[in-house]
């Protein structure tokens, strides 16, 4: 068996420093799910079309399936597992729960992360701004109305 070439990467995920050897072809999603066991970020399409793998990379939302592992060396990654603290859900998570912002829930981590990124930079978005910020996230259950209500609720709570 031929050993695949690897690259050493050091980064922080949810505030914890990590160092590992990643195969050159690995994506950030491979690192999170397969190497670190952080399976909250979902693998929907694996080609940048559904947003179910959305994480924050240095504070900005990215599709983790489209980011090469080597790119995250020195970066800070926030995943859905890092939003709750002290056993309490974040405001965005709680709003999705209270407003029934998901049905099967597969898309929910991606929507929550994209919404968290939006509200971090724009605490009082208009509906048009919410739709624009979430335009890269797909929900096969068609729960878009409840998702919009959830983001509105999260924004109102922060007012």
**φ, ψ for residue 10 (rounded to 5)?**
-125, 125
56-61, long-range: CB < 8 A, 24+ apart: 56/113, 56/116, 56/117, 57/28, 59/117, 59/120, 60/117, 61/113, 61/114, 61/117
Q: By CB under 6 A, name the one of 58, 104, 123, 135 that touches ligand FES.
A: 104
For the CB of residue 86, give the shortest distance to ligand FES in the complex, in Å: 27
Phi-psi region of 60 (alpha: psi -120 to 50; beta: other; left: phi over 0): beta
> Can you tell me which residue has the tokens 């209500």?
149
Q: By CB under 6 A, name the one of 40, 44, 61, 125 that touches ligand FES.
A: 44
> Can you tell me which residue has the tokens 């050159």?
24
For the CB of residue 3, give the shortest distance to ligand FES in the complex, in Å: 27
Q: By CB under 6 A, name the one of 12, 48, 75, 98 that touches ligand FES.
A: 48
Q: By CB under 6 A, name the one of 74, 105, 123, 145 that touches ligand FES.
A: 105
With respect to ligand FES, which residue has the nearer C-beta, 14 or 103? 103
Identify the H or E element spanning 22. Answer: strand 16-23
With respect to ligand FES, which residue has the nearer C-beta, 54 or 118? 54
Assess 52 for contact with ligand FES (CB under 6 A).
yes
Q: Can you give the binding site for ligand FES, defined by CB under 6 A?
A: 43-46, 48-53, 63, 65, 102-107, 139-141, 143
């Amino acid at each position: 068996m031929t050993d695949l070439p690897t690259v050493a990467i050091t980064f922080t995920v949810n505030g914890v420093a990590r160092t590992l050897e990643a195969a050159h072809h690995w994506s950030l999603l491979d690192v999170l799910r397969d190497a670190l066991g952080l399976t909250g970020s979902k693998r929907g399409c694996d080609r940048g079309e559904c947003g179910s793998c959305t994480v924050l990379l240095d504070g900005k939302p990215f599709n983790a399936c489209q980011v090469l592992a080597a790119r995250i060396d020195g970066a800070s990654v926030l995943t859905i597992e890092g939003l709750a603290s002290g056993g309490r859900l974040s405001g965005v998570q709680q709003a999705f729960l209270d407003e029934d912002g998901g049905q099967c829930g597969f898309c929910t981590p991606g929507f929550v992360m994209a919404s968290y990124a939006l509200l971090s930079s724009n605490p009082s978005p208009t509906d048009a701004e919410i739709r624009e910020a979430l335009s890269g996230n797909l929900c096969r259950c068609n729960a878009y109305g409840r998702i919009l209500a959830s983001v509105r609720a999260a924004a109102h709570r922060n007012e």
